[in-house]
Amino acid sequence: MANNATRLVLGTAQLGMPYGIANVAGQPDLSEATQIISTAWAAGVRHLDTAQAYGVSEMVLGQALRALGVINEARVITKLPPTLETGDGDILLAHLRSSLARLGLKQLWGVLLHREEQLDDWNGVLGQTLARAKRDGLIVRAGVSVYSPSRALQALELDGLDILQVPANVFDRRVVRAGVFTEATRRGAQVFVRSVYLQGLALLSPDRVAQVAPFAVPAVQRLVEFCRAHGLDRQQFALGYALALNPQALMVIGAETPSQVADNCRRVQEPPLPATLCRQWDEAWPKDIEPLINPSRWPSRAAA
């Protein structure tokens, strides 16, 4: 029997700073962070997602992986700074080496641009430097984390781009409708899906949503009603729906506690959702509303 936990990627933003609208535990200490990573690893998770902008996440991740003795087996993907100077190859290489030093690695499984706008500079010093980093053995794969489907399609046209991170969830089907998954498969690019639970918003109670993100109440309430009507667990449906979007995509999911990791690893082993059920949800909530699906547009008290 296949271990579906290999489709999960441990997101580590929470290990470097307080992150997510549903975060109540805050940033875990090094001991608990190590337990979070250990739980994921024991379940079969091998990919770990971090970024230079995630506080001390790279350093914590490196320390934990070394403590667990799996530093050379982990497939670490990091993101370059959001304010990267894309026209200076020396600065770019210096950033790569600083990530490697913090992580304690000789080579990165993957590196992503953190801002989709940086794609406009790919066909120049940026792309040339990433290609050089591959030749020199600093990285194996390069790509970008995008928000919009148009940028995802732009990325898939670029030479040397191997990996793509996109948002998708029960409230955000834009990349599916734009054919991003189909194009990625055609071009042989690995897709990573983030925002599976939309920073946990999809799992909050409607009462809690009304307190921290009142703009999202209609969407969450519709999801609660849909799951209740079909006898579904909301978290299982949200994860199963994301998994069903594309069978080759990997799911980036963060955690504040080891129990959350264990829960996701257990849930990913459940039988896939029927396609008819996913279509029924698309009919029940057909809208992809920008203020809802884009956390950067949430009020500060919601996005914190």
Tokens matching residue 178? 């734009």
Instruction: Kindly state whether residue 44 falls inside one of the protein's structural domains.
Output: yes
> Which region among 18-27, 99-108, 211-220 has the lowest average model confidence (pLDDT)?
18-27
User: What rounded mean pLDDT belongs to the chain?
Assistant: 94
The Cα 134–Cα 130 span in angstroms is: 6
Instruction: Kindly state whether residue 231 falls inside one of the protein's structural domains.
Output: no
Tokens matching residue 285? 């909530």
For 123-136, the pLDDT digits (tens) are 999 999 999 999 99
The Cα 5–Cα 150 span in angstroms is: 30
Mean pLDDT of 172-176: 97
The domain that holds 61 is classified in CATH as: 3.20.20.100
**Using alpha carbons only, how large is the chain's radius of gyration in Å?**
19
Distance of CA 243 to the CA centre of its chain: 13
Token pair 């993100």 in the structure block, residue: 213
For 224-235, the pLDDT digits (tens) are 999 999 999 999
Residue-level pLDDT at 94: 97
Q: Let me know: does 74 contact 45? Beta carbons within 8 Å.
A: no
For 68-125, the pLDDT digits (tens) are 999 999 999 999 999 999 999 999 999 999 999 999 999 999 999 999 999 999 999 9
Token pair 């990919």 in the structure block, residue: 47
Residue-level pLDDT at 23: 47
Token pair 């928000």 in the structure block, residue: 147
Instruction: Kindly state whether residue 155 falls inside one of the protein's structural domains.
Output: yes
* Residues of the domain holding 163: 4-204+242-272
Q: Let me know: does 239 contact 229? Beta carbons within 8 Å.
A: no
The Cα 195–Cα 294 span in angstroms is: 10
The Cα 29–Cα 16 span in angstroms is: 9
The Cα 303–Cα 282 span in angstroms is: 26
Count of domains observed in the chain: 1
Instruction: Kindly state whether residue 120 falls inside one of the protein's structural domains.
Output: yes
For residues 20 and 224, the model is more confident at 224
Tokens matching residue 187? 């071009």
Instruction: Kindly state whether residue 282 falls inside one of the protein's structural domains.
Output: no
Classify the phi-psi angles of 22: left when phi > 0, otherwise alpha if psi is within -120 to 50, otherwise beta: alpha
Instruction: Kindly state whether residue 110 falls inside one of the protein's structural domains.
Output: yes
List Cβ neighbours of 15 (8 Å cut-off, separation of 6 or more).
27, 28, 33, 36, 50, 54, 57, 60, 61, 64
Residue-level pLDDT at 26: 67
Residue-level pLDDT at 25: 57
Indicate if the pLDDT at residue 298 is higher than 50: yes
